[in-house]
């Protein structure tokens, strides 16, 4: 009987160890590359590939936020090809027993790019692709079921997504060219925001969705265009399409169920729309 009890105890310990297993993989080819991985929780996976010189890759799974919160069932992937790139992914869960899966990925090809993704709850996903030099991408997610995507092809572009609403927001930023800027706030739920900038020095740094079930789609093709939007109600739709240079659009939607479509083809135009 005593022998049977010892065997049973060993089986329980073995099963527990398997459940608590975290996995970290790093691959470095080049000179003076650095990686830092911290994993606090269960079933986390971290992968970092670096080819080049003086790149920094950091993965923090658990151990930040309000106390030493755990990260469970999270996956982080970083790939850096070039030199002096900086990428960091931070993932955690507010519920120590939470198992909602998170996935965040950063790919950097070039020089002196910076990218940071932070998820304060499980169940979120984020993706950053940077091809060029000195681009900046940032993403922050609270609650769960948020999706963000930032793609930058060119130099000195700046993109940021802030998703602090209860759940289910989607945001995408595509920047092709140089010195473009875009920033989106989503403080409600079930909102969608899509920004595409093709050219140089375009700005969309005040894109705010404060209600629920809102949709915004912006295309800026050209140079030196500026767009801003505020959606404070629910079920609003805003579409902005710009082909040209030096144009400006502003859209304010307060209330519910509004639809706006602003289209510009040319240079130096101004379009202001307010819907209450």
Q: What residues pair up with 173 in beta bridges, in sequence order? A: 150, 195
Alpha helices for the chain (secondary structure H):
2-19
| pLDDT at site 12 | 35
In the numeric block, the tokens 């060993």 are attached to 10
By C-alpha distance, which of 178, 186, 93 is closest to 139? 186
* Successive 10-residue mean pLDDT values, the chain, 276 residues: 34 40 96 97 96 98 80 96 98 83 97 97 96 98 96 98 96 98 97 98 96 98 98 97 98 97 98 97
**Assign residue 215 a region: left if phi > 0, alpha if psi is -120 to 50, beta otherwise?**
beta
Q: To 5 degrees, how large is the angle CA 268–CA 272–CA 275?
A: 165
Both structure tokens of 125:
């996903």
| pLDDT at site 95 | 78
* DSSP secondary structure letter of residue 99: -
Distance between CA 263 and CA 258 in Å, rounded?
17
Helix (H, G, I), strand (E, B) or coil at 11: helix
Both structure tokens of 63:
């151990």
Distance between CA 50 and CA 194 in Å, rounded?
30
Helix (H, G, I), strand (E, B) or coil at 13: helix
pTM above 0.85, yes or no: yes
Q: What residues pair up with 188 in beta bridges, in sequence order? A: none
Q: To 5 degrees, how large is the angle CA 149–CA 220–CA 107?
A: 25
Sheet containing 114-119: which strands, arranged edge to edge? 34-39, 56-61, 86-91, 114-119, 136-141, 158-163, 181-186, 203-209, 226-231, 248-253, 270-275
Q: What residues pair up with 97 in beta bridges, in sequence order? A: none
């Amino acid at each position: 009987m005593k022998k049977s009890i010892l065997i049973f105890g060993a089986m329980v310990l073995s099963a527990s160890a398997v459940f608590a297993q975290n996995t970290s993989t790093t691959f470095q080819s080049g000179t003076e590359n650095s990686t830092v991985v911290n994993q606090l929780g269960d079933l986390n996976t971290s992968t970092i590939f670096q080819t080049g010189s003086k790149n920094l890759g950091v993965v923090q799974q658990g151990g930040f936020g309000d106390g030493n919160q755990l990260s469970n069932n999270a996956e982080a992937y970083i790939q850096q090809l070039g030199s002096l790139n900086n990428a960091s992914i931070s993932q955690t869960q507010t519920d120590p027993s939470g198992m909602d899966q998170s996935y965040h990925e950063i790919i950097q090809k070039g020089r002196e790019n910076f990218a940071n993704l932070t998820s304060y709850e499980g169940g979120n996903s984020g993706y950053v692709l940077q091809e060029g030099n000195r681009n900046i991408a940032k993403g922050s997610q609270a609650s769960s079921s948020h999706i963000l995507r930032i793609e930058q092809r060119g130099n000195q572009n700046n993109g940021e997504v802030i998703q602090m609403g209860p759940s289910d927001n989607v945001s995408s930023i595509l920047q092709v060219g140089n010195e473009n800027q875009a920033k989106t706030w989503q403080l409600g739920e079930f909102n969608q925001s899509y920004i595409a900038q093709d050219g140089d020095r375009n700005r969309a740094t005040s894109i705010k969705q404060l209600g629920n079930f809102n949709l915004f789609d912006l295309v800026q093709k050209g140079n030196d265009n500026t767009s801003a939007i505020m959606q404070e109600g629910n079920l609003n739709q805003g579409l902005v399409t710009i082909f040209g240079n030096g144009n400006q659009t502003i859209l304010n939607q307060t209330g519910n169920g509004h639809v706006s479509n602003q289209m510009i083809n040319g240079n130096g135009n101004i379009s202001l729309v307010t819907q209450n």
